[in-house]
Structure 1
């Protein structure tokens, strides 16, 4: 699941999150960890321009700091950047930060990457917004090297060139998974050719099968035999019968009803689903997480 509080776009944030703080964030992370969730995720924006602030808000926690903080209070749940705009930073700097998170967490990092969409961020940090796709393509290769087993990683490319600079600690994992976010044709192609996983950005159910077929075809055409993790972001969920208005797109009902609906994603070829629960408070969200983990998740593989 994408964590609440750490990003508060008006598209998905609940009203109670505005007054929430670190203690609430930790409590939700611990609830997800105890409920057996696969990952918790944090977003990435350096700065939100005034023109976008009314919709996006300016509340975007730093993902490295957030995931490192939550690593200390969780034991099993993986830590996902969804997604890190890695083109805003040099790959060596990104690798140093995320390798440290992986080291401190005992190998629980999943590095989700994306091209970014806010022009002003790129301009303020001295990067070419129009080149962001090409930069990301190379940044993934550079990060593969910088997050690999070698103490002195090496990469020589058009945008980045480095060697002879040692970085310890190394990641705890032999290979840090890199999942590519986005649903544009370029993002799907990037995920197919360079990713260990694909994180679509809200594709509706009727569009996912075609996107997955394209992803698979691109990998076959490129001769890539390794499996790729296919993700999906579900509709908003509520376990049980809510006594309040949760929105027309929200899937509600008994655990078996939710499980039956969500199993449709597996039939499409989806391997993991990212869920978001409608809720009016931290406690209600924690209850939803617990109920989903105990009563819905065990039915997803039936």
Structure 2
């Protein structure tokens, strides 16, 4: 089972950010990215928000690094770990702009991009950019199909849809991956499940409780039916702490001996999960790196037992 990590520092919602991240910066991001690269994590991930309205700033904060700039910065500091946008609010941008940015990232990184996309939820972002918030789902559906064309092998991609039409326009460099980088679709609503099944190469759930995942996965498989090609089913694990923490890590955190943590996570594989996003409680960047090392050395090898 592939495992990856949402990077600290680059998004600081009160739902998950640790207190030390408020004073952290680019050097801390590089250290964690290099640790993930060195320790065999499958990917590092970066979120996407353009601007946060005042009504949400206290809960969400206004710290949201740009995913293309951040992942490109970290691509230069790493060698093998994949680069995931989790998730890009793709409907806020014309697909040719998104394709240019992410194709360049894939080219520069030697084919390490995973493009994660989602519908978005902040109305004011859409209004500021002149995008219809009420139609964001339909816009994203068409955007994904347009991105499939724009990120393919053709130098002059062709697409014709209700909102976007392009042809006879060349874009280079092309992505390093062929036939194109994978597109994983985020979200857990019925519409997002349908979108992932019909348009995506993978599914990125958004905080589904463990007990609800089997039903979601069954629904996804039923909707996908006989469609061909690889498809990656993901999940986000509860917060983790490898070992006995000695401090309050929260009642929902999975902690304890490595075999205890691994046993808990193996339940995801039994549900049909193929990639698991893990996150660790920590009081500093150093403790986070130590937790990642303990997980890679003592928990990950037990996930396949």
Normalization by structure 1: what TM-score?
A: 0.99
The residue that corresponds to 1:88 in the other structure is 92
Which structure 2 residues correspond to residues 125-164 of structure 1 after superposition, within 5 A? 125-164=129-168
Alignment of 1:100-139 (within 5 A): 100-139=104-143
State the partner residue of 2:195.
190
Report the secondary structure of 1:183's partner residue.
Answer: coil
Which of 290, 293, 300 lines up with 1:290 in the alignment? 293
Match of 1:36 among 27, 36, 40: 40
* Matched residue count: 300
- Name the structure 1 match of 2:18: 14
Among 168, 171, 176, which residue is 1:167 paired with? Answer: 171
The separation in 1 between residues aligned to 2:75 and 2:250, in whole angstroms, is 33
Please give the alpha-carbon distance, in whole angstroms, between the structure 1 residues aligned to 2:63 and 2:124: 16
Deviation at 1:227, TM superposition (A): 3.4
Structure 1 residue 273 corresponds to structure 2 residue 297: no
Shift of 1:254: 1.0
Query: Secondary structure at the residue paired with 1:83?
Result: coil
In structure 1, what is the equivalent of residue 246 of structure 2?
Answer: 243
SS in 1 for 2:44: strand
Pair 1:256-2:259 in alignment: yes
**Paired residue for 1:219, among 204, 217, 224?**
224
CA RMSD of aligned residues (A): 0.6
Quote how far apart the aligned CAs of 1:226 are.
Answer: 2.6
Q: Any unmatched runs of 5+ in structure 2?
A: none
Shift of 1:238: 0.3
Displacement of 1:188: 0.4
Quote how far apart the aligned CAs of 1:11 are.
0.3
Q: Structure 1, residues 70-122: CA drift from partner, whole Å, max 9, x if none?
A: 00011111000000001000000000000000000000000000000000000
Distance in 2, Cα, partners of 1:148 & 1:192? 20
Q: Distance in 1 between matches of 2:108 and 2:208?
A: 34
Deviation at 1:290, TM superposition (A): 0.9
Q: Distance in 1 between matches of 2:55 and 2:291?
A: 35
**Does 2:231 correspond to 1:228?**
yes
State the Cα distance separating 1:294 from its structure 2 match.
1.1
Instruction: Provide, for residues 247-274 of structure 1, a one-character-per-residue CA deviation record: whole Å limited to 9, x for no partner.
Output: 0000001111111110000000000100
TM-score by length of 2: 0.98
Name the SS for the 1:79 alignment partner: strand
Q: Distance in 1 between matches of 2:228 and 2:147?
A: 21
CA distance in 1, matches of 2:75, 2:285: 20
d(CA) in 1 for partners of 2:228 and 2:9? Answer: 39
- Which of structure 1's runs of 4+ aligned residues deviate more than 3 A? none
Q: How far apart are residue 228 of structure 1 and its match?
A: 1.3
